[in-house]
Amino acid sequence: VQLQASGGGLVQAGDSLRLSCAASGRDFSTYTMSWFRQAPGKEREFVARTTWGGRDLYYADYADSVKGRFTISRGSRNTVYLQLNSLKPEDTAVYYCAADLGGSGRLETDIDYWGKGTLVTVSS
């Protein structure tokens, strides 16, 4: 099993980025797929998740700090995206994708699989 995050980079405040997470090794369509981030000197925190609601239905929810600016979505069965708009310097962090089956997908202790992160740097 492998989760590979990509799409990070250096941008200015107000810019946008799209992060991608490609998962392989099993079918992740029923997994909760989440994004976390870890800013320099801080603990890793939940950002967003997309949860399977049956058949082709997925639900999304977000940390308050990114609500209205970030959007999580699913592409193909094993691909998840995070659209980052109106970026702020405080969004600077390493962003991790994660997969969870059966838990909330919001807690690190729920996560079954982690990907390596991708760095997002937002300059002011």
Spans of the chain, pLDDT less than 70: none
Could you give the CA distance from residue 70 to residue 81 in angstroms, rounded to a whole number? 10
Q: What pLDDT is recorded for position 64? A: 98
CA neighbor of 8 nearest in space, from 114, 103, 81, 102:
81
53 Cβ contact partners less than 8 Å away, ≥ 6 residues apart? 59
Q: What pLDDT is recorded for position 3? A: 97
Q: What pLDDT is recorded for position 89? A: 97
Q: What is the dihedral of CA 65, 119, 82, 61, to 10 degrees?
A: -30
The answer to whether 21 and 4 are in contact (CB under 8 A) is yes
pLDDT in tens, 58-85: 999 999 999 999 999 999 779 999 999 9
83 Cβ contact partners less than 8 Å away, ≥ 6 residues apart? 16, 17, 18, 19, 70, 71, 72, 73
